[in-house]
Amino acid sequence: MANRLRVDNGVIDKINDDSEKTDFYFFELHDVDKNDKLDGIELTNLFRNLDQSADLAALISRVDDSLREDDVDNDGWWLVASAKG
């Protein structure tokens, strides 16, 4: 996730930063219900923010791939630990 979003006084800017802190912040930005995990809708929004030119089918495919790879207990949630790699 080289391209990130930063919220500063309500303005969202893309920034480049590979730090773990930025990954966690980006995850938290999309964890709408603050349960330390992302569902399919939250993941879709995260990926849309990373690639605003992606169509819905591409976003759904990316979410499905991410959950298939990182959702080890198959509960449909992507955990913050997944963001840390």
Report the DSSP pairing between strands 3-8 and 78-79: unpaired
44: in domain: yes
pLDDT at 24: 77
> For residues 2 and 68, which has the higher predicted lDDT (pLDDT)?
68
Tell me if 47 is assigned to some domain: yes
Window from 1-5, 53-57, 67-71, 72-76 with minimum mean pLDDT: 1-5
pLDDT digits (tens, 9 = 90+) for 64-74: 999 999 898 99
Asked if the model's pLDDT at residue 16 lies above 60, the reply is: no
pLDDT of residue 2: 42
* Share of the chain residues as helix, strand and coil, in percent rounded to the nearest 5: 50, 20, 35
The answer to whether residue 4 is domain-embedded is: no
Question: Encoding tokens for residue 10?
Answer: 């309500």
Is the pLDDT score of 10 beyond 60? no
Counting the structural domains of the chain, the total is 1
Domain range for 32 is 20-83
Q: Is residue 10 part of a domain?
A: no
Whether residue 72 is contained in a domain is answered as yes
46 closest CA partner among 78, 16, 11, 76 = 78
